[in-house]
Chain A
Amino acid sequence: MNLRAKESMPVLQRDHALHLLREMLRIRRFEEKSAELYAAAKIRGFLHLYIGEEAVAVGVMQALEPRDAVVATYREHGHALVRGVSAASVMAEMCGKVEGCCRGRGGSMHIFDAATRFYGGNAIVGGGLPLAVGLALADKMMRRKQVTACFFGEGAVAEGEFHESMNLAALWGLPVVFCCENNLYAMGTALERSESETDLCLKAASFEVPSWPVDGMDILAVEEAARRAVTAVRSGGGPYFLEFRTYRFRAHSMFDPELYRTKQEVEEWKKRDPIPNFSVLLKEQGLLKEEDLDLIEAEVGAEIHEAVQFAEAGNWEPVEDLTRFVYSEQGRP
């Protein structure tokens, strides 16, 4: 299901190619470790793994600049890592430590970071879309050439907030790239069981928003589509809608027995795992050697090891500080 035209294949620079691979591996290994820590009860609450969908976050982030903003969902560790939030602070956050990016007040589902303009971490399906519209509205009113990338799952298109936000962004010509991660299941409800029209791009088109379906398992296709969309949006063309067709290999959360899909289906999709497929492609093109991969794996492993150590050595926020951050402590920022 590779929708990318062969001729548009970019000429791959080796450094960039290895960077893409490394970023996907960072997410994968980070999340595998997270699952392990969850089993050891060091991470609690809900934990939603992104494994299988890494190409989407990694590809889209390549198109963004530091001045741009990101709004994500509760399955956002990957987005945060690639956006530049350190693995250590995300891991500490998931462990509930005060050294975490949100001092342990957000947890896995609410990762925020000011330096990278990462606005969460939203655990209400569809709830982040109006926020992204507002961030873009501020940019437009302040004449800043910035864009907001808004990630959400296909389940969100059933929410009123999706339709309201698409309409408002289109009506006001706001610089939002709507990134729909269609992994086919809203928790356990398959797309065709929740939507009368399963072609999501048609929904976006009804708001006069340019829309494009993308193979979300192909990192290069994702990057290319994202660059095209971001360029269009940044130049003042109003919002853009990208549907990334992808698949999560793990259960919805750690409490999910996966009764709604077959093992066979999962195995079929795993054949399209973006990481080994991209590795094979790079090896074919002579851009990647086995020792390169070993080195990347070692470096990623070290980063995650350090992150876990950092998190485990972290401190609990004193209970006396419980009621902080309900209202701002200083004056107007």
Chain B
Amino acid sequence: MEAGTLVEWRIQPGGNVKRGDIVALVETEKGVIEVEIFESGVVESILASPGQKVPVGGVLATIRAEGEAPRAAPARLYISPAARRRAGELGVELSKLQGTGEAGAVTMADVERAAQKGIEAARPPIPSAEPQAAIRRAIAAAMARSKREIPHYYLAARIDMSRATGWLREENLKRPVTERLLYSVLLIKATGLALKRFPELNGFWVDGGFKPAEGIHVGVAISLRQGGLVAPAIHDVDKKGLDELMKSMLDLVSRARTGTLRSSEISDATITVSNIGEQGVEALFGVIYPPQVALVAFGKLTEQPWAENGMVGARPVVVASLSADHRASDGHRGGRFLSAVDRLLQEPEKL
């Protein structure tokens, strides 16, 4: 995530803020997020206005600590001479840059980072700032990049869910209604556990190489009512119990739909799980969300004929599929990963 659109301010110049306050709402490609303040003090000046596109890490407002003398906001963008020259060489438009140097000055590193990320700095700002449009544009950019850059391969496996659904039914009978588990929690947990043995599917393709992620943060695709979807992460899936996972998931879904996700939840998924079986789809082959390298999808749970030991019977079956980045992994490993998910779902009590 690189930019968002300021939706509203919850503070005013001269007002007091304290650490932890939510000071603004920003519409991002992943939805509306709350901007939290990490310092206490007095709001000195507000530098961005609602509807304005603001880069991640950019300065939106300045806070003066208690007792600090007020200072004049810089009237113009500070750019180091070397950065200015570098920007000229790389064709990066300076007015779109946010500086990380002294006094917020744009440095050479800022320019080079911007050039590398291919910020379309030279393009004039898009005047419209409709929330749906922003999300649509973000999805468009990410998906186009994915299909342009990532050599996908796709695998699918039918998984017998009779043990899992049977165990879940028993389990839910013991629980009050409010604490019942959805079967998709089992899918997410199984995926998370399987990933521990297949690190090449859990991470990022950056700077021409694969970087394994440190934790297993599963992005859960959630469709939004106004259109579009987000995939906020449930952190450390492999370490969480089913109850905890259930709670996290419900919380994410509700906050995604009210537009109050935190930016960290939006940007740090290490793999995405899509489960649109609810819509009656039997199987789906998703588009990887870059820079992630894999997407696991589960289709609709259906009763299907299942042959075992020469006997045919009806069993609940789900089609699990893997879309994976061929630069980071191969089909052989991908297949074994799906087998691992299968095996884990055959012993639901251990999840």
Q: So, do A and B actually touch in the complex, CB under 8 Å?
A: no
Please list the residues of chain B having a beta carbon within 8 angstroms of any beta carbon in chain A.
Answer: none
Please list the residues of chain A having a beta carbon within 8 angstroms of any beta carbon in chain B.
Answer: none
